[in-house]
Structure 1
Amino acid sequence: MAGTLAPVAQLLERGPEPGRATVLVGANGSGKSTRVEAIAQACGLSAEGGSTGAMHATRDTGSGLHRHLCLERNPGTTRYGYFLRAETMHGCFSYLEDNPAGPDLAFQEMSHGESFLETAAGKFRGGGPWILEEPASALSFPGCLALLGVLKDLIGLGDSQVIPCTHSPILAALPGTRGHEVGDRRLRERQRAELDLVQGWRSFLDAPQRFLRHL
């Protein structure tokens, strides 16, 4: 697997091991989006987002990693799920408007953040894998808290599985989560306070001048 990112190679070797709530964090280009995309596709979801059965696709940019994954489902587990992917949701919302499955909200008329929150609150219902790629990119601080509340409630139902990748220390605080840091070497499970993401934000907010003088 020469040239393959170490965390992606690890996924191929060991397979995904998500818990009830698994948050992936890491620097840009570390492979976390590739991992959640592969898990979403292995669950039967489009690489560009949407629910099970959505056929939205504008360009085949997937890694193909999902073809090497075999997910295990508990007996009676629903096959419904949703993949909320930040970079492609505009196209996904257009697809939903052009292919209505029933009454739906006018997502394109909302702000970026509002559409994300309404998607999570309205589409994430009952059991199922709820997979999110960089959802905080559209959200303010209160918006991140609102999404955190939606995901917390889903986990509390006991039959949902939530798998976001994020740069947000707020979403990394999802209760009961297994925090995984995607780095140059391997994927490492860590407590929230140990994550580079959390330590970096805390250090910057405590003393921004320590960082600004090096820019």
Structure 2
Amino acid sequence: MDRRPVRRLKPDPAAPPQPAGTWPATVPAVAQILREGLELAPGATVLVGENGSGKSTVLEILAAALGLNSEGGSAAARHRTRTSEPGSLDLVVERSPGAPRWAYFLRDETLHGLYSYLEENRHPHRSETAFHELSHGEAFLSLLGDRARGPGLYVLDEPDAALSFTGTLSLVARLGDLVSQGAQVVVATHSPVLAALPGARLLEVGPWGLRETSWDDLELTASWQQFLTDPRSFLRHLG
């Protein structure tokens, strides 16, 4: 039986088309989803791409379609700074019957606001962590460990920005545990370590839109391997 919390993000055939030439429909990955939808595999899906490729925008659209707070948290989270997200774009979520509906969204760039919201609105039956008293990476891993428990859908936008190498390895282990419990995970990252998450479906984001690939074929992987082998081959061209 298909128990994926989300099977597919798909266009609403009854919705008016997005105006041509306007953001975010001008982002190739978004334009592809507006045409074709986006199938979410069981387990983990990892989006990799350069800055500005659209991977974070794809996650923001998914979070909006799920009804999650666009700046992070669950559907019940009530905090906001400045609205800049694209919304759901009239995309609809196809769910598996009887699958868990719990979902949580974590965005590196808005974690400060989420931490403040959680500290100011403590759950009566939960001992909330004082997130602002921890380092960025410690707070992120603590929040993920508290909110990501068992089946559900977890959407993480560039979590590696908060983490050291060993912290990223800890995150890989945590996400692997979630997947083994039946969770779905969707991650956008610049980290070759996180992109190596065992069993993950890799989508490379760029001018072509979204394309499935392997870790060995990622430009990200090749660049890091070359840099670590010979840093001077990159650094001598700077400045």
Structure 2 length normalisation: TM-score? 0.86
CA contact (8 A) 1:16 1:39 kept: no
2:183 is aligned with 1:165:
no
Cα deviation code 1:146-176 (max 9, x no counterpart) = 011000000111x210001000001101111
Structure 2 Cα separation of the partners of residues 18 and 57 of structure 1: 28
TM-fit CA distance, 1:88: 0.2
Q: Which residue of 2 aligns with 1:18?
A: 40
Alpha-carbon RMSD: 1.1
Match of 2:106, SS state, is strand
TM-fit CA distance, 1:53: 1.1
Matches within 5 A, 1:12-161: 12-19=34-41, 20-64=43-87, 66-102=88-124, 103-157=127-181, 159-161=182-184
Structure 1 Cα separation of the partners of residues 59 and 134 of structure 2: 26
Runs of 4 or more consecutive aligned structure 1 residues displaced over 6 Å after TM superposition: none
CA contact (8 A) 1:52 1:79 kept: no
TM-fit CA distance, 1:59: 1.6
CA contact (8 A) 1:6 1:185 kept: yes
TM-fit CA distance, 1:185: 2.0
TM-fit CA distance, 1:2: 2.4
TM-fit CA distance, 1:50: 0.8
Structure 2: which amino acid aligns with 1:138?
Answer: A
TM-fit CA distance, 1:136: 0.4
Match of 1:50, SS state, is coil
Larger Rg computed on CA atoms: 2
TM-fit CA distance, 1:52: 2.7
Structure 1: which amino acid aligns with 2:45?
Answer: T
Match of 1:83, SS state, is strand
Structure 2 Cα separation of the partners of residues 162 and 111 of structure 1: 24
Structure 1: which amino acid aligns with 2:47?
Answer: L
Structure 1: which amino acid aligns with 2:228?
Answer: L
Structure 1: which amino acid aligns with 2:78?
Answer: M
2:201 is aligned with 1:178:
yes
How many residues of Structure 1 are paired with residues of Structure 2 in the alignment? 213
Match of 2:117, SS state, is helix
Structure 1: which amino acid aligns with 2:58?
Answer: R
Structure 2 Cα separation of the partners of residues 79 and 170 of structure 1: 29
Structure 1 Cα separation of the partners of residues 32 and 90 of structure 2: 12
Match of 2:48, SS state, is strand
Structure 2: which amino acid aligns with 1:179?
Answer: L
Gaps of 5+ in 1: none
TM-fit CA distance, 1:183: 0.6
Structure 2: which amino acid aligns with 1:170?
Answer: V
Structure 1 Cα separation of the partners of residues 70 and 38 of structure 2: 17
